Structure 1
Amino acid sequence: GRSNWLFAGSLRAGQRAAAIMSLLRSAQLNGHEPHAYLKDILTRLPAHKASDIATLLPHNWQPLAPVE
C-alpha cells in the first residue's frame, strides 16, 4: 500500500507508476474495466498514428472487440 510506493526505485520510476495508475483510474471512472482497457490500448499502440493518440484516452476510448 501507501508506504510501499515510497520505494519505486527512482524518481522517474515513481513518476511512470503514477502516470499508469492515473490512466487506469481514469479508465475506471469512465466506466471501463481497467485490465481490458490497458490490454486493448497496449495492443493497438504500436500501429496507432501519433496524431490520433487522443482516441486511446479513457474518455474517448471505444473497444474494438467485445469486452470479455
Structure 2
Amino acid sequence: ERDIRPFCTGRSSWLFSDTVAGAKASAMIYSLMLTCRACNVEPYAYLVRVLSELPQRALDADVTDLQPFNFSKPTA
C-alpha cells in the first residue's frame, strides 16, 4: 500500500493528460521511478545514465542492462 500511495494521490493530476500517448509516457516514467526505489537505485543518477547512453545505441540494441534492477554505478 505504501508504494502505490503516491500513485493514488497523483491520479487526479494525471486525469488531465492531453493525450493518451502523454499519459502512457507518464505511466512508464512513474513505473521506472518506483522500480528504482524498490531496487535502492537513486532515480536521478539512473535517469542521467540511461538518457546519456540511449542515444549512443542502435535502435535494435539490447537495453536490458539499462533496467533499474541491472543498474550499477559506473566505476570512475
Is the structural similarity TM-score above 0.5? yes
User: How many equivalent residue pairs?
Assistant: 66
- Partner secondary structure for residue 51 of structure 1: coil
**Deviating 4+ runs (over 2 angstroms):** 48-52
Question: What is the TM-score when the length of structure 1 is the normalising length?
Answer: 0.82
Radius of gyration: which is bigger? 2
Q: Does 1:33 align with 2:42?
A: yes
TM score, norm. by length of structure 2: 0.75
**Can you list the C-alpha shifts for 1:21-53, whole angstroms capped at 9, x where unaligned?**
101110111001111111111011111354330
Any gaps of 5 or more consecutive residues in structure 2?
1-9
Residue aligning to 1:54: 64
Q: How much is the aligned-residue C-alpha RMSD, in angstroms?
A: 1.6
Match of 1:23 in 2: 32
Structure 1 gaps of 5+ residues are none
For the 8 Å contact 1:30–1:59, the answer to whether it is kept is yes
